Amino acid sequence: MEMSHDAMTAPVSDWVPPSYTEPSRFAEHDVTVGTGPLAVSGTVSVPNGPAACPGVVLLAGGGQFDRDATSGPNKPLKDLAWGLASRGIAVLRFDKATFAHGDFAAAPDLTMTREYLPYAVDAIGLLRRHPAVDAERVFVLGHSMGGKIAPRIAAVESSVAGLVIMAGDVQPMHHAAVRVITYLAAMVPDLVPPSTVEIFGRQAALVDSADLTSSTPAAELPFGLPASYWLELRDYDPVAIATGLRKPMLILQGGRDYQVTVDDDLTRWRAGLGDRPEVDIRVHDADDHLFFPGTGPSTPADYERPQHVDPAVIGDIVEWVGRARA
């Protein structure tokens, strides 16, 4: 459940690379992902050296995010890309079409699948064809909604070697929205009045009801997303899709995450996949939704302070990719 912090971000300040990156160990070049007028720009980070390396395609969470998932002064996907590339893994990240194209973001027939799937499949192909990359070892790493849709992408694109799901939400997003806004009303009441909780509750009830149709106005629905988006999401179960994949998966969760939680989301991944030998589930207790480590209850204000993805998370991904085999 990603959308709640996007509207609260501060003006972007200069990003400073985390200490675990070594820019001299990799090079970057730009690519175009997708085709036609809705193509987007992306960046490939390629480790130096002659050996064919594994590759990872990064998927940002829900909302109009650039290739770095910029949130205030922070760039968590850039942290991941530079951290992984410093450790021998090629990474492709790209601007979301909803970020790059305002008309696409406002399309009345927008769905999660349209927003993610064609771009992810194209990015996987680009990375598999890269001369520095081992085409049989290209993985998809999705954060939040990017993790939610990652199983569908792997179901469509069979060449995917495995999935890394970071804070992938499973609880229906309209239910999660009510839970998150209720939490924020208690934590930051000056920002979230009780009337906002009532509005989200009413919108979520409409998503659940038989009254939701393709002609329901977006203004009556959570986050102003069109009815098409909710009609698809209402019936989407990422765990059910993941159980049919039989691919290696690393599922990561922050213990301090209030948007996607251990109790509401990770329990469902564990119930569906916890007994699978090819699935590795790990919780980083100190981390929030962006996998920034800290203490105490997490709030949107945490995203406004310059921080970096937990180095232990980078280490988990590097170690897992190194041994994962489809």
Q: Mean of the per-residue pLDDT values for the chain? A: 94
What is the mean pLDDT of the segment spanning 269-296?
97
Q: pLDDT tier at 50 (50, 70, 90 boundaries)?
A: confident
The confidence score (pLDDT) of residue 273 equals 97
Q: What is the dihedral of CA 283, 172, 185, 253, to 10 degrees?
A: 10
pLDDT over 50 (residue 89): yes
- Residue 30, strand partner residues: 43
The confidence score (pLDDT) of residue 6 equals 40
Q: Could you read off the pLDDT of 63-74 as tens digits, one per residue?
A: 999 999 999 999
pLDDT over 70 (residue 12): no
> In 232-266, which positions are buried (b, 16+ CB within 10 angstroms) versus exposed (e)?
ebeebebbebbeebebbbbbbbbebbbbbbeebbb
Is residue 289 annotated as part of the catalytic site, yes or no? yes
Q: Which of 4, 71, 86, 144 is an active site residue?
A: 144
Phi, psi of 53 (to 5 degrees): -105, 160
- The Cα angle at residue 46 between residues 42 and 47, in degrees rounded to 5: 155
Q: What is the CATH number of domain 3-170+239-323?
A: 3.40.50.1820
The confidence score (pLDDT) of residue 13 equals 59
Look at residues 45, 42, 41, 51 and name the one whose alpha carbon lies nearest to residue 21.
Answer: 45
Q: Which of 5, 284, 289, 308 is an active site residue?
A: 289
Beta strands (DSSP E) in the chain are 26-33, 40-47, 53-59, 90-94, 133-143, 163-166, 249-254, 279-284
What are the residue boundaries of the structural domains of the chain, listed by start? 3-170+239-323, 171-236
- DSSP codes of every residue in 106-147: T-TT--HHHHHHHHHHHHHHHHHT-TTEEEEEEEEEEETHHH
CA atoms within 13 A on the CB side of 52: 11
pLDDT over 80 (residue 203): yes
Q: pLDDT tier at 8 (50, 70, 90 boundaries)?
A: very low
> In 15-34, which positions are buried (b, 16+ CB within 10 angstroms) versus exposed (e)?
eeebebbeeeebeeeebebb
What would the two tokens of residue 32 be? 């175009």
Q: Could you read off the pLDDT of 239-251 as tens digits, one per residue?
A: 999 999 999 999 9
The confidence score (pLDDT) of residue 14 equals 86
pLDDT over 50 (residue 298): yes
What SS3 class is residue 93?
strand
Phi, psi of 84 (to 5 degrees): -70, -40
Q: What is the dihedral of CA 309, 311, 317, 321, to 10 degrees?
A: 130
Q: Which of 257, 264, 265, 288 is an active site residue?
A: 257
Helix 173-187 vs helix 194-208: crossing angle, to nearest 10: 170
- Write the CB contacts of 121 (distance below 8 Å, at least 6 apart in sequence): 153, 156, 157
Is residue 5 annotated as part of the catalytic site, yes or no? no
Q: Could you read off the pLDDT of 135-171 as tens digits, one per residue?
A: 999 999 999 999 999 999 999 999 999 999 999 999 9
Q: pLDDT tier at 2 (50, 70, 90 boundaries)?
A: low
What is the mean pLDDT of the segment spanning 216-237?
97
Is residue 257 annotated as part of the catalytic site, yes or no? yes
